Structure 1
Amino acid sequence: MASERREHLVRLAAELFAQKGFQATTVRNIADEAGILSGSLYHHFDSKESIVDEILSGFFDEIMASYRAAIDRGQGPRETIAALVRAAFDTLEPHRAAITVMQNDWSYLRGMERFAYLTKAEDEIEEMWAGTIRQGQRQGLFRADIDATLTYRMVRDTIWMAVRWYRPGSGLDPKTLAEHYLKVMFDGINIH
């Protein structure tokens, strides 16, 4: 029961952080949403930072595992990029709040020593993507006149921004979004 209660509190807090921002959300807001006294929240967490840490570390653990699996399959660069895109879109539903927190509060959180792992993970992720793009350039599969790091950042940001408008149950699912995205990314919108 305690672990279920803790998970419930994390989900509530994640939604509040996504709606109001991490800095603007108070412990009292979280407790009020949960229907408990503020002091009761400290039975489960020592601070608001501990809650957001649990939200973000869970997200990063999952996305890193998915990205590493895509890289480790040893497919060609195009297939690997497609697998990375699919993995990113797969996080939209289960980690919508974490992605929103990352977008809204990244600058604030990464300034705290406790969240140093965010920068480390972001650097590793960037190297996975940009390294795959560079590999595709060396093999003549991707345009040589694009910057791999800038391209990765543009792709990442367009995927993560989908969290702002994508709604589960709206007739679109993450797999459909990923396939459409890949079609536009690889083939463009021009008729060849």
Structure 2
Amino acid sequence: MTKENITIAALRLFLLRGYKYVSLVDIAGEAGITKGGIYHYFGSKEEVLCTALHYLFDRFEAKYQELFSCSQGVREILDTVIAEREMERYTYQLLGIRKGDYRLNFAGLILEVIQNFPEIQGRIDRNHALFCQAIETKLKQAMEQGEIRSDLDSHALAILILTMLNGQNSLGEQLNTPLLRKQMMDNLWQLLDRK
């Protein structure tokens, strides 16, 4: 059993149940070790949480960079992240969860963490800034290549897209269907399309 296995098991439980409702015994059970085995790598549940969140944030940063620096056009990339929810799919895969078996509560965990661990806010802000920068860079390239309108503010537009992506995580199933996500993407594209 490695530290990474424990980290992933903890992250899975935190996203499914919330930090408050997960104990070290729960994490040990999920990881297939004893509670004492956790103490070989971590000094406390808080340390497990911080490690788990940094692990997730590191992977999200790399995934955003991969998605927004690829050679695909901006429409295809936005369709992948908005309509197809690539980051959610990636998270389920990272945590070893079959989509549909469980619903991860990203918004709930982040709100709980911000309230109880304000020092994590800096890392969240850094992630948002990096995501926004990756999106903005892709938008500028698309503007220069004539793929999208060039009269829009790429920075404000990147924040709008990031807000859409983050907001999707807090919506219930009724407002987050594949059809509605496609309609959101189609409406966004109408705004961006250079016509």
Q: Do residues 59 (structure 1) and 64 (structure 2) align?
A: no
Residue equivalent to 2:14: 13
Question: Is contact 2:13–2:22 with CA below 8 Å preserved after alignment?
Answer: yes
Name the CA shift for 1:180/1:33 in 2 (closer, same or farther; >3 Å).
Answer: farther
Find the aligned partners of 2:7 and 2:130 in 1 and give their Cα distance.
30
The 3-state SS of whatever aligns with 2:71 is coil
Deviation at 1:157, TM superposition (A): 1.9
Find the aligned partners of 1:171 and 1:71 in 2 and give their Cα distance.
23
- Across the two proteins, how many residue pairs are aligned to each other? 172
Kindly provide the CA deviation profile for residues 40-72 of structure 1, in whole angstroms up to 9, marking residues without a partner as x. 486363233322223323432333333222234
Q: 1:75 aligns with which of 72, 77, 82?
A: 72
Q: 2:45 aligns with which of 34, 41, 48?
A: 48
Q: Map 1:108-119 to 2 at 5 A.
A: 109=117, 111=119, 117-119=123-125
Name the CA shift for 1:33/1:154 in 2 (closer, same or farther; >3 Å).
Answer: farther
What are structure 2's unaligned runs of at least 5 residues? 29-34, 96-103
The 3-state SS of whatever aligns with 2:169 is helix
RMSD over equivalenced CA pairs, Å: 4.2
Deviation at 1:131, TM superposition (A): 1.3
Find the aligned partners of 2:116 and 2:148 in 1 and give their Cα distance.
35
Name the CA shift for 1:31/1:142 in 2 (closer, same or farther; >3 Å).
Answer: same
Find the aligned partners of 2:112 and 2:140 in 1 and give their Cα distance.
30
Find the aligned partners of 1:139 and 1:132 in 2 and give their Cα distance.
11
Q: 1:101 aligns with which of 109, 118, 136?
A: 109
Percent identity over the alignment is 13
Residue equivalent to 1:152: 158
Find the aligned partners of 2:129 and 2:22 in 1 and give their Cα distance.
32
Q: Do residues 31 (structure 1) and 23 (structure 2) align?
A: yes
Q: TM-score, normalised by structure 1?
A: 0.61
Name the CA shift for 1:48/1:160 in 2 (closer, same or farther; >3 Å).
Answer: same
Q: TM-score, normalised by structure 2?
A: 0.60
Residue equivalent to 1:186: 189
The 3-state SS of whatever aligns with 1:75 is coil
Residue equivalent to 1:134: 140
Question: Is contact 1:130–1:148 with CA below 8 Å preserved after alignment?
Answer: yes
Question: Is contact 2:14–2:109 with CA below 8 Å preserved after alignment?
Answer: no
Mean Cα deviation higher: 64-73 or 147-156: 64-73
What are structure 1's unaligned runs of at least 5 residues? none
Residue equivalent to 1:165: 171
